Each structure stands twice: as C-alpha cells, then as structure tokens.
Amino acid sequence: MTLTQLATSPPATGPDRSVNDPPSPSESFARAQLRRVFRSWPVRMALGALVGLVLIAIFASWLGTSDPTELSPGARLKGVSAAHWLGTDSLGRDVYSRAIFGSRVSLVVGLGAATISIAIGLLIGVISGYSRSADAIIMRFMDGVMAIPGILLAIALVSLVGANLLTVLIAICIPDIPRVVRLARAVVLSVRSEPYVEAATTLGTRFHVMIWRHIVPSTVAPLIVQGTFIFASAILAESVLSFLGAGIPPETPSWGNIMADGRVYFQLQPGLILFPGLLVSMTVLSINLLGDAMRDGLDPRLSGRL
C-alpha cells in the first residue's frame, strides 16, 4: 500500500479488531467509490441527458410533429418555422420529427452494439483465457480482425451485404469484438491465477461452476466500462456510416441520415448538419462521461485509460 492510498483509504483498524462488532452494511468499497463518483455534477448532467434521450426515443410518436418519412416536394429546404421547428430537408421532410425518431436508431445501434460485442467477446475471451490451444488460433484471428481499419471493414460489409439496421449493427460490432476479447481474456488470465481460484480448485469446484462463480463475475466491472465506450463509439460510427452513404437506408430517420442529406446543402443550410451533429455529440459526450465515471468508480487502476 502506498502512502497516498493510505491517506485516501478508510481509517486503519487494528490487526485483530473484534469480529463481534455489529456487522457493517455489506457494501463493498467499490460501490462506495462509485456512489462518490456519481455525485459530481458533470456526471449527473450526463445521466440526466441520457434519461431524457431515452424518454424521447420511447415517446417519439407523441413528440414528433409529423410523419418523419413524409415527403413534401413543395416544402424543400425550408428554414425554421412554426410548422417545421427545425426546418425541412432536401425532400421536404420535417427535420425536427426526423431527429426525434432518429434517437431510436442511435440508442438501438449503441445498445445493440455494446450488448452483442460484449456477449460474443466475453464468450470468446473466456475460451481463449482457459484453453491454451484455442487461444493461439483465436488470438491470431483477432489480431487479423484488428489489423483491418474498423471504418473500412464496416463500410465494406454494409455495401457488400446490403444496408439495413441489422447489417449496420453487425458491421459496427465486428471491429469492436477483438478489443472485448482481449480485455476479457486478460481479466480471465489474471483472475485464474488468483489464490482464491486455486483455493476453489482444491475445494473440488468443477470447471463450469468455477467459470460462473469465480471468473465471470470479475469480468463484469471492466466489461461494463468497456461496454459504455462501445455504446458511445457505435453511435458515432452509425453517424459516420450514414454520412458516407454506407449506413442504414436513407429514408429511415436517423441522425446520420439527416446529416448525410444536409451535406450537399451545407453552404445553404448548415443547420441540417449542425443540429443533428450537436445531438450526436451531446449523446456521445454524456455516455463517455458516464463511462469515465464508472471506470473511476469500479476500477480506479484503469483511471485515465481508454
């Protein structure tokens, strides 16, 4: 224990504090730390923003002023007005309504990408961390996937297989999976050499029980943190893919699609890009802040890393 830790950790108790003290609440130090981190105001604002976003996505049908896919050729590229709170796009669709509905796409893509890549990555990572023969093959394959630039792989996949929400989701997940695998594998490797895991072995704990009881729980905290960052980067990736014309079909209301549409008319109507851009940025920023806070709280050693 370093001195700084000494100064910041709870007061030292004597070597043999009476074990018959009234039991303290079984709240671990990490949880207390997490609670402290979540008390800071930027994190609270981020949380608030995200809650708001989720509400918007759920109640989009009530919040939108018109059908986000309805074309009105007569009202193209209109500015801000009472009828169109954020103007209209090049096909006369209401930008405000499209943005409201677009939050659904962003949340689905972000959550979906985080869930899928964590689930697959955890599975492969645990196998890799436990089986030496599988490890060699798996890690070479993962190195190969990691060598391919994520954006390139994603746009190639989408354009080759065809653009829809699912392919976009998968295309965004694939480059993230190797990173999750590496993280999960690293945690498994370090945990499986912990004396408490060896102790469980000597107590006759069987392999599959060991995985669930002792190994997987210790991957939860780092993977949640990683998942948060994947959530954020997936939203960014979706907007980039749509912007490049390799995203979900252009008629679907998504923030990326609004910006892609506004690209050509940027000089004329900068709001078409800047407003959804602001939404994307605020959302991603909030998630990143939350991720930082969780990392600081759950695993102070990782503080400051990505």
Range 171-230, binding other proteins (CB under 8 A): 194-196, 198-206, 209, 213-214, 217-218
Of 71-79, 95-103, 107-115, 242-250, the window that binds other proteins (rule: CB under 8 A) is 242-250
Q: What gap in Å lies between CA 271 and CA 73, rounded to an integer?
A: 19
151 lines the binding site for other proteins (CB under 8 A) = yes
Tokens describing residue 128: 């890799």
Q: Which of 155, 173, 187, 294 binds other proteins (CB under 8 A)?
A: 155
268 lines the binding site for other proteins (CB under 8 A) = no
Q: Could you tell me which of 105, 106, 101, 109 has the C-alpha nearest to residue 68?
A: 101
Give the 3-state secondary structure of residue 94.
strand
> Minimum distance between the CB of residue 78 and other proteins, rounded to whole angstroms?
20
Q: Could you tell me which of 275, 226, 242 has the C-alpha nearest to residue 89?
A: 275
143 lines the binding site for other proteins (CB under 8 A) = yes
133 lines the binding site for other proteins (CB under 8 A) = no
Q: What gap in Å lies between CA 230 and CA 89, rounded to an integer?
A: 30
Choose between 118 and 237: whose C-beta lies nearer to other proteins.
237
Contact 98, 48 (CB under 8 A): no
Q: Which amino acid would we find at residue 178? A: P
CA angle 125, 236, 124 (to 5 degrees): 10
Question: Contact letters (x/-) for other proteins, 284-303, by CB under 8 A?
Answer: xx--xx--x----------x
Of 55-63, 76-84, 95-103, 138-146, the window that binds other proteins (rule: CB under 8 A) is 138-146
> Minimum distance between the CB of residue 303 and other proteins, rounded to whole angstroms?
7
Q: Which of 45, 51, 156, 268 binds other proteins (CB under 8 A)?
A: 156
- DSSP β-bridge partners for residue 94: 88
Enumerate residues 22-81 that contact other proteins by CB under 8 A: 23-24, 26, 28-29, 42
Tokens describing residue 169: 């989701």
Residue bearing tokens 């297989």: 161
Choose between 64 and 103: whose C-beta lies nearer to other proteins.
103
267 lines the binding site for other proteins (CB under 8 A) = yes
Its sign, for the CA torsion 80, 47, 177, 169, is negative
Choose between 131 and 303: whose C-beta lies nearer to other proteins.
303
92: left (phi > 0), else alpha (psi -120 to 50), else beta?
A: left
How many residues sit in the footprint of other proteins (CB under 8 A)?
83
Q: Could you tell me which of 243, 106, 246, 256 has the C-alpha nearest to residue 163?
A: 246
Q: Which of 250, 281, 299, 300 binds other proteins (CB under 8 A)?
A: 281
